[in-house]
Amino acid sequence: MEIQPRHTKVEKTIQLTTGVLVLESPSGFPRNESNLYLLASSGKILWSGEKPDANAYFSKVRLNEDGETLSAYTVNGHACELELRTGKLLSHTSIK
């Protein structure tokens, strides 16, 4: 499935059984949206990653070994854990 970016450019995709996890470039991405989202095979957005604050953009993402969570990092210095099924923020901490 070819992924068309919503606003900027696709920096990373991860194929999952539920769809494709997409990380778009934070540069120029709208402030009120998340640049991390899960797309169904139909192209429908299943969820957008919950951000630790309104001005945060994700810069890196990886699946965790438990198969139920993912780790994501923001350009503002947050390390986040999100639920893979929903994109909900489970925890975050500031790193410098």
Name which CATH class applies to 10-94: mainly beta
Q: What is the amino acid identity at position 43?
A: G
- Band (pLDDT 50/70/90 cuts) for residue 5 is confident
Q: What is the pTM of this model?
A: 0.93
Contact 12, 23 (CB under 8 A): yes
Instruction: Give the burial class of 17: count Cβ atoms within 10 A of its Cβ; 0-12 exposed, 13-18 middle, 19 or more buried.
Output: exposed
Q: Which two tokens stand for residue 59?
A: 């810069």
The mean pLDDT of 71-76, rounded to a whole number, is 95
Residue 1 pLDDT more than 80? no
Instruction: Give the burial class of 16: count Cβ atoms within 10 A of its Cβ; 0-12 exposed, 13-18 middle, 19 or more buried.
Output: middle
Domain ranges of the chain: 10-94
